[in-house]
Structure 1
């Protein structure tokens, strides 16, 4: 795996994983990383904006080391950063990226040492996979764990989609959009049909009827927790599958 940009040669051993402790220590020292701290890794699916890659710490003390590497031999390059978090923590770092037009992107959980950055890079890559294609947004893995599980096992995710939403996917695009929109609004409104109706701009009975139709098509009940979990996860797969919705 080739690495580019100013910090590439030093970031490579840290983010590839599996390097000897002395190699990790030398790379961390060369970058000026402390032995212990609050670190995260960010992986972007689009080129890093110039405003994001600018030198110098953020106002809260967050520091960034950007590099560029191939996702796999022969694949397109992606921008990757090691982040030493400041006072605003991971949420502040993600907000900075989003405000400056970065994305799509994924951020790993917080780790405590440079030796853990290889694992963090893999998790940041998984977080990136949970972004809808083309989205200008950076997401944290810790906030996308169900979706991360699904993208980590694409063959099972595809099976879940076919098993749970197969009959719905056989309907026309307009009908699919109406039924999916109803259940998504209902979920976002905490299971309130009335609030979902306000959000959708229709009568509550219309929402109720759409939900019942979805239940009949999928043979899953929104009132049975195990079946509701299946529906929610299948809808997440649908969201992440280009052209399926």
Structure 2
């Protein structure tokens, strides 16, 4: 539920991080939350749907707080209405189904894109959880409605946490590929994505793409020549997969 300015200020202080024991105790009393419990933080990259801020717990018994931090420490990061630099921020006291149910609820409401933090065990950990939820949000594809948990995107989270290294990885691995005309580049990227999704099966990849097995082989061999990396060498395959993730998160089409 969305609470008033007083409640939002308390919540904002917790989300800003570095909460003192006294602040945790005051916030717990003011918000009606247990100091210790199973919590997650959600950061949305778009306005929160009205249905998400209805009073009362959801069907799983989870309780949601969409708060503001106007005029409190951390207000530059967590602004009025629970917005973090234009993003919506929520604290969830989880029900029995845990974070999976929170993710499902947001998807049902059409929210997104959004990132969900790992589960933490106390109000004092909400600041760290907020940062991790924000990182999870950064792993969502631009323009998507994805709702993702950080624990599902850890390799990609490492990439978005160091954008200068991500840019370097993309240039180092896919540099020659990026010089191709868009149609050729998209064809090779699409084939690599399908091959990965099909568990490395050329036959299944060909069936998915509606082409001959030899066509898939030829495209993958060309990709290997362009990148200087072999799909059969695990360490080099890791380079290709991570570079593909950086490309996926790029605002430019493949």
TM-score bracket relative to the smaller structure: over 0.9
Deviation, structure 1 residue 125: 0.4
Deviation, structure 1 residue 4: 7.6
Pair 1:20-2:20 in alignment: yes
* Matching residue within 131, 138, 151 for 2:160: 151
3-state SS of the aligned residue for 2:92? strand
Pair 1:207-2:216 in alignment: yes
Report the equivalent of 2:31.
31
Structure 1 gaps of 5+ residues are: none
Pair 1:168-2:200 in alignment: no
Deviation, structure 1 residue 72: 4.0
Report the equivalent of 1:191.
200
* Matching residue within 124, 133, 138 for 2:133: 124
Aligned-residue CA RMSD (Å): 1.8
Query: In 2, distance between residues paired with 1:160 and 1:4?
Result: 45
Report the equivalent of 1:51.
51
1:143-200 CA deviation, whole Å, 9 max, x = no partner?
0101100000000000000000000000010001000000100000111010111111
- The answer to whether the Cα contact below 8 Å between 1:7 and 1:65 also exists between their aligned partners in 2 is no
3-state SS of the aligned residue for 1:39? strand
Structure 2 gaps of 5+ residues are: 70-74
- The answer to whether the Cα contact below 8 Å between 1:67 and 1:80 also exists between their aligned partners in 2 is yes
**What are the residue-to-residue correspondences of 1:86-97 with 2, within 5 Å?**
86-97=95-106
Report the equivalent of 1:100.
109
**What are the residue-to-residue correspondences of 1:59-98 with 2, within 5 Å?**
59-68=59-68, 72=77, 76-98=85-107
3-state SS of the aligned residue for 1:195? helix
Report the equivalent of 2:72.
none
Deviation, structure 1 residue 53: 1.5
Query: In 2, distance between residues paired with 1:115 and 1:203?
Result: 57
TM norm structure 2: 0.91
Query: In 2, distance between residues paired with 1:144 and 1:218?
Result: 24
- The answer to whether the Cα contact below 8 Å between 1:43 and 1:105 also exists between their aligned partners in 2 is yes
When residues 18 and 114 of structure 1 are mapped into structure 2, their CA distance, relative to the original with a 3 A threshold, is same
- The answer to whether the Cα contact below 8 Å between 2:114 and 2:137 also exists between their aligned partners in 1 is yes
Deviation, structure 1 residue 56: 1.0
When residues 4 and 159 of structure 1 are mapped into structure 2, their CA distance, relative to the original with a 3 A threshold, is farther
TM norm structure 1: 0.94
